[in-house]
Structures are given as structure tokens and as C-alpha cells.
Amino acid sequence: MDKETIAFIKDLKKYRRKIPKHQLKTIRGQALSGNLEGAKLGLKKISKERIE
């Protein structure tokens, strides 16, 4: 894992109470598998839906 992936996974912790656990695990899995851009896009989409 590179530093960017580790930082992203640590940042996911602040979304624990806002996003369902299943979605967080899916996004985390994407990041760990190497699809960091997809994970960021998914998090952005989910957080946008939750805020609106």
C-alpha cells in the first residue's frame, strides 16, 4: 500500500456515522485493491447523496 491509500483509509473513519457500514467496507475494499480513484469517486457520490 502506498501513502495515499493509507491516508484515504484513515479519512474514511470520519464517515462512520454518516454512511452505512456496508458501503464503507465496499469503498475501503476498492481502495485496498488498487482502485483508489474509483473509491474516491464512490465516496464523493455517496456523501453527496447523504448531504442533499
In three-state secondary structure terms, 48 is helix
**pLDDT-derived band of residue 52, with 50, 70 and 90 as boundaries?**
low
Q: Considering only 11-15, 35-39, 48-52, which range has the smallest mean pLDDT?
A: 48-52
Q: What is the pTM of this model?
A: 0.86
**pLDDT tens digits along 8-23:** 999 999 999 989 999 9
Yes or no: say if 15 and 24 are a contact pair by the CB < 8 Å rule. Answer: yes
Residue closest to 43 by CA, chosen among 5, 28, 4: 28
Question: How long, in residues, is the chain?
Answer: 52
CA distance 27 to 11: 12
In the chain the beta strands, taken as DSSP E runs, fall at none
